[in-house]
Amino acid sequence: MDRRKFIKNSTLASSLFFVPSFVKAFEQVAINKLGYKRLVIVQLSGGNDGLNTVVPYRNDLYYKARPTLGIAKDQVIKLNDALGLHPSLTPLKRLYDDGHLSIINNVGYPNPIRSHFRSTDIWHTATDSNRYSQSGWIGRYLDNYAKSPHNAIEIGDSLSLAMKGERMNAIATQNPKMSFFMSRDPYFKRIHDHKNDAHLSEHNLGYLYKTMIAAESSAKYIHETSKTYTSKNQYPDNKFAKQLKTTARFINARLDTKVFYASLGGFDTHVNQKAKQKQLLGVYANSIAAFVDDLKANNTFKDTLILTFSEFGRRVKQNANVGTDHGTANNVFVIGGQLKKQGIYNNIASLSDLDDNGDIKFEIDFRTIYATVLNKWLEVDDAAVLNKSFNQLSFI
């Protein structure tokens, strides 16, 4: 195989498996303390309106700021005498009543950015808003504690920055069977047969060879392990539910994966927000409920923690198009069977004391949530992953 053909085909291979930064040999990575606990991260992309998600239905300022957009008191799913859920989140009320949901309000970061792309990068990398990073917080978790790319899997066609490390990246796949059969292409065997050729050491080809072998190995492992389990539970018919069904399949097959990543987009609701958010939150809640039921049926829910976030919240006051503009602080949902502080973790911040842009002031740095999950759930050194120490919370 000549070098030009190798490079051409390697581009195809890297696009299939999304692990372009793998260089560390498996045996050099410490994995003895990873355990069986799993983290499922769900991103609501576009900036979900947290104020219409967790509704302060007793607050007159809320209805004054949102005369047509506010959720009517008689429609709110009441959680206590001040806060309730959007009516589309009815399936989450059962989780709340069972002590499986913790709602953390006013989550953000100092000096907030209202750009989708930049704020998403900040959440993905866990860096300060004035700093940039090429590695994500889960990617750095892999760098420090994983044995192979499949220790974190994104259920999708591309890999988020959160899942990219400095030395190891996660795997992105929607169909493990398809990924496996792609890895069986004769091209990979030809590469293996030429692994000792002198030109592989040129132009990073040796590095690329390791990348592709790691991808092939992970694709084989994911397929052969996950094919042993088929879910019997019913899921809604939507793309997000399919992501969660695949995630449940991986978890219930006892795949050696610690972190899973899924996403639901469409939350940038500048215009006619009410109908769009109602539909999206319904997709989210019904899919999550089916996912939890699947895990419970297979006795894996107790070892699974589900973290839902959005890159920012929305402005308190509705706009002229009966929508909301980009804001800052938002709520985070934590779902699991081992929560220590269940229900409402903290109250919504004051609606009479907003920042200069009319946004809720943030109270909890999102990185304190990451630090808590890393230290108390995944049982690793959070400072080694986040490159900084943060106070930890008490929801787990």
Residue 389 has a pLDDT of 97
Q: Cα–Cα distance between 294 and 243 in angstroms, integer? A: 13
**Mean pLDDT estimate for the chain:** 86
Q: Alpha-carbon distance 43 to 336, whole Å?
A: 17
- Comparing 219-223, 337-341, 379-383, the range with the smallest average pLDDT is 219-223
Tell me what pLDDT residue 157 has: 86
Residue of 36, 66, 39, 68 lying closest to 51 (CA atoms): 66
Q: Is the pLDDT score of 8 beyond 90?
A: no
Determine the pLDDT at residue 283.
98
The pairing of beta strand 38-44 with beta strand 259-264: parallel
**Residue 328 amino acid letter:** T
Q: Spell out the domain ranges in the chain.
A: 38-146+227-386
Q: Which of 9-13, 172-176, 291-295, 332-336 has the lowest mean pLDDT?
A: 9-13
Instruction: Indicate the pLDDT class of residue 240, thresholds 50, 70 and 90.
Output: very high
Residue 93: count of CB within 10 angstroms of its CB: 17
pLDDT in tens, 58-105: 999 999 999 999 999 999 999 999 999 999 999 999 999 999 999 999
Mean pLDDT confidence for 273-295: 98
Look at residue 36 in the predicted model and tell me its pLDDT.
80
d(CA 304, CA 142): 18
Separation CA 229–CA 249 (nearest Å): 6
- Does the domain spanning 38-146+227-386 belong to CATH 3.40.720? yes
pLDDT value for 160 = 97
- What are 302's two structure tokens? 């107790």
pLDDT bucket at 194, cuts 50 / 70 / 90: low
Could you tell me the two tokens for 115?
Answer: 């750009």
Rounded to two decimals, what is the model's pTM?
0.85
Residue 146, SS3 per DSSP: coil
Nearest to 231 by CA among 303, 302, 298: 298
Residues of the chain with pLDDT > 90, as a percent, come to 72
For the segment 206-217, the average pLDDT, to the nearest whole number, is: 54
Cα 261 vs. chain centroid, distance in angstroms? 4
pLDDT, position 174: 80
